Structure 1
Amino acid sequence: MAATQTKSALFVCLGNICRSPIAEAVFRKMATDAGVVDKWVIDSGATSDWNIGSSPDARGLACLRMHGIESRHSARQVTKEDFKSFDYILCMDESNLTELNRKAKLAKDGEAKIELLGSYDPQKQLIIKDPYYGSDEDFEKVYEQCVRCCKAFLEMNS
């Protein structure tokens, strides 16, 4: 019997403490609930080096907990190797997309498909706005967008 092909997704935002850890946790829970988590490598990272080693924002963790999801993520910066080892690099806004495309050129032989996570949103909200300077409601909006996008992404890749 042939081994099942593993797929991989890296979720990316500016600092890897708000949006991308929420997306990572949401996608991991969906893949777990669907019984396919063992077929995925799932992680998140930052375009910047500002928060390396930090835990996700407390408001984001509280939002996830409210929805029955835990996260033990530690912020990290996207590396050249990520462009080679991940199938999909899904980012939150145009600034992330521009920076990832720039870094991908430096990685040379990377084959990751770089796109906006919001491109999977059935409600067509392309940009997932940074809630860092916002309220708990802004984190909830990010969560809801991530749920819609991750659900569509998982369905397209199952």
Structure 2
Amino acid sequence: MKLLFVCLGNICRSPAAEGVFLHLLNQRGLNDQFIVDSAGTGNWHVGHPADRRMTAAAQRRGIHLPSRARQIELDDLEEFDMVLTMDDDNLETVAGLAREAGKKATAQIKPMLSYGRHHNESEVPDPYYGGDAGFDHVLDLLEDACEALLDELTDSDRKSSGEN
């Protein structure tokens, strides 16, 4: 299963989602079953590591953010099984790319927080212009949604292989 997490600049929310998901995979011993990446809809930060404030907030939770920013490409919509967007603008942009890619766009595109269980928000807020608390809040939302996403994906894998 190949997952791509997408936000605006790929230095705060989507690398955090990637890092949280990788952390969960490591905890559950499922690293070999998933390919995980992140991208931004914009190109301002291409090649840069995650924002230092997001990196610090993640490190306080034992989560490593390994990625370097990149911009989403049309081929990503064929390469990945799922594209998970952080907010409505990202969702709209990715859906537009999917329309442009046509039949090649086989990835399922969903809002990240459609998997959230313990929060009422529908979008992961961009913490870039706020204080440190915003980065922790983003991680709270992403830990919740990533755990539910992984639960759903691994439950469906067990069901399709006949396990109970």
Q: Fold conserved (TM > 0.5)? A: yes
Q: TM-score range by the shorter chain?
A: over 0.9
Number of equivalenced pairs: 152
Q: 1:121 deviation in Å?
A: 0.6
Match of 2:111 among 109, 113, 116: 116
Gaps of at least 5 residues in structure 2 are 155-164
Q: Aligned residue for 1:41?
A: 35
Residues 52-80 of structure 1, C-alpha deviations (whole Å, 9 max, x = no match): 11111000000010001122211000011
In 1, the alpha carbon distance for the partners of 2:65 and 2:90 equals 22
Q: 1:157 aligns to what SS in structure 2?
A: helix
Q: Aligned residue for 2:5?
A: 11
Runs of 4+ in 1 over 6 A off after TM superposition: none
Match of 1:79 among 69, 73, 79: 73
1:89 aligns with 2:83: yes
In 1, the alpha carbon distance for the partners of 2:111 and 2:66 equals 24
Conservation of the 8 A alpha-carbon contact between 2:6 and 2:85:
yes
Q: Which has the higher helix share?
A: 2
Q: 1:142 deviation in Å?
A: 0.2
Residues 13-64 of structure 1, C-alpha deviations (whole Å, 9 max, x = no match): 0000000000000000101111111100100000011111111100000001
Gaps of at least 5 residues in structure 1 are 1-6
Q: Which amino acid aligns with 2:132?
A: D
Q: Aligned residue for 1:125?
A: 121
Q: TM-score w.r.t. structure 2 length?
A: 0.91
Q: TM-score w.r.t. structure 1 length?
A: 0.94
RMSD: 0.7
1:147 aligns with 2:143: yes
